[in-house]
Chain A
Amino acid sequence: MSSTPGTDPDLTRKERREQARAERKAIEESQKASAQRRRLMQLGGVVGVVVVIIAVIVVATSSGGAHKLKATQTGSSVPHAAEVQARFTGIPQKGAELGSSTAPVTLQEYADLQCPFCRQYTLSVFPSLVRKYVREGKLRMEFHNFDIIGPDSIKASKMAMAAGQQNLLWQYADLFYNNQQQENSGYVTDQFLTQIGSGVKGLNVNKALTERFSPTVEGKVNNDNQLARVYGSQYANLPVPGFNGTPSFLLYKTGTTPQLYSPTSLTEPAVFETAINKLLKG
């Protein structure tokens, strides 16, 4: 079986083998290059599709906010001004408190005026609670600042508290939420605060703009934030630990120890109503 180099049949077999191997190698190299090209094209396709999807998400989430307040919109032309005015007409209000002081149940809200979830609650649940409970003298509410989003939150809080000095805090906060824009985008300017103020009937805007820097107003804002952060501390040896963001709520029978209330939804009035009804019956 051993082949002798130099004989024709052996050389022919070897040559054929080498030729066949070279052909196979060429085919394999070609297949390999083709597979690699296909993979690169597929990868390029995947990257392209991902880029397009992300671009669509960016555009969709950037334009999803509230409509910007136009510079010409002041007074009653501020969007939702009339609706907000009607919501509070005839309801007693003092500082940060809304409703009758003798109402059997109290709901404290710790909120950030820049917070989109607070806006969600204010637009979806709050009107129903005011209509069904506050107006009926069954519920009193307290608004407290819990400024967690940024410096503009504090700026907004001070103006709202200053409106509270004129017993118009709730209208101011409500109208603010209705015209809220993208958080930390720099929209909370003096002009914006003035425009919102102009939409609150009866508010002396210039007085509020001045008073927002008074020790009284700044003290209230600081106190609220300190209190909220104490409530938020998991180490606090207080009856109501557990604030972890905005809005946070305390719901309790007026005159008793405030109890943490964590609603399962910020958009369904029925969730809040069930909890309030339970306290009213109890």
Chain B
Amino acid sequence: MIGLTLLGLGVATYLTIAHYSGGTTICPLHGGCETVQHSKYSQLAGVPVALIGLIGYILILGVLLTPSSETTRLIAVVLTVGGFGFSIYLTGRELFSIHAICPWCVSSAIIMTILACLSIWRFLRGEDVPLKSTSQGAGGLDAATASPSSAAEPLPGA
């Protein structure tokens, strides 16, 4: 997830720099980067959407680098699901309002979609795998929520 976030961070950084420097964007696949970047939807309340994406990826990275807990996993879900929703909105604008597709934006949308799916899976699953594999006899129970007496339980026949 951290690798994906760094990838998204790279895309958002590039688009933000391109926005503020006014430089030419390398547009792969003969896409309509220029049209998208100069449309009115490239800003939200005066803030470039590329910058919003950049801030979003930084926050996600920050949460992922924080020691995992129920709260941080929930925050990751909030951020990535929010990012996913925003990506859906922007892609919809590209398809139905601007009638041009920016491959950079699409790649960011794909990254955010994968991140949202992974975050939801991670959140619903509970504790991370390495922690779970060390708990004995919990039958897949969260180490965090397992009864403290579990560890003291004598083995059958002891």
Contact = CB atoms under 8 A, between A and B. Distances in A.
Report whether chain A binds chain B: yes
Nearest to A183: B39
Interface of B: 22-25, 34-35, 37-41, 44, 74, 77-78, 81-82, 84-86, 88-89, 93, 97-99, 120, 123-124, 126, 138-139, 141-142, 145-147, 149-150, 153-154, 156
B38 A54 contact: no
Nearest to A1: B158
28 contacts: A17-B156, A21-B153, A25-B139, A28-B141, A28-B147, A28-B150, A31-B145, A32-B141, A32-B142, A35-B142, A40-B124, A42-B77, A43-B120, A46-B77, A50-B84, A54-B85, A57-B44, A61-B44, A64-B40, A149-B35, A149-B38, A149-B98, A183-B97, A183-B98, A184-B98, A242-B24, A246-B38, A262-B22
A244 B22 contact: yes
Contact of B88 (A28, A54, A245): A54
Interface residues of A, number: 42
Contacts of B40: 61, 64-65, 116-117, 183
Interface string A231-263: 010100000001011100000000000000010
A244 B77 CA distance: 37
A149 B89 CA distance: 20
A101 interface: no
A146 to B, nearest CB: 10
Nearest to A184: B99
Interface of A: 17, 21, 24-25, 27-28, 31-32, 35-36, 39-40, 42-43, 46-47, 50-51, 53-54, 57-58, 61, 64-65, 115-117, 148-150, 182-185, 232, 234, 242, 244-246, 262
B41 to A, nearest CB: 6
Q: Which secondary structure dominates where chain B touches chain A?
A: helix
A42 B119 CA distance: 13
Contact of B85 (A32, A42, A50): A50
Contacts of A64: 40
A115 B38 contact: yes
A51 B86 CA distance: 9
Contacts of B99: 150, 184
Contacts of B41: 61
Contacts of B86: 54, 57
Contacts, number: 98
Given A24-B153, A35-B145, A61-B40, 5 more contacts: A42-B74, A117-B38, A183-B98, A244-B22, A244-B25
Contact of B38 (A42, A50, A148, A232): A148
B123 A43 contact: yes
Contacts of B23: 244
Given A35-B142, A53-B85, A148-B35, A24 B124 contact: no
Contact of B97 (A43, A53, A182): A182
Contacts of B142: 32, 35
Contacts of A32: 141-142, 145
Nearest to B82: A50
A245 B81 contact: no
Given A28-B141, A32-B141, A245-B38, A47 B81 contact: yes
A251 to B, nearest CB: 14
Contacts of A234: 24
A24 B89 contact: no
B82 A245 contact: no
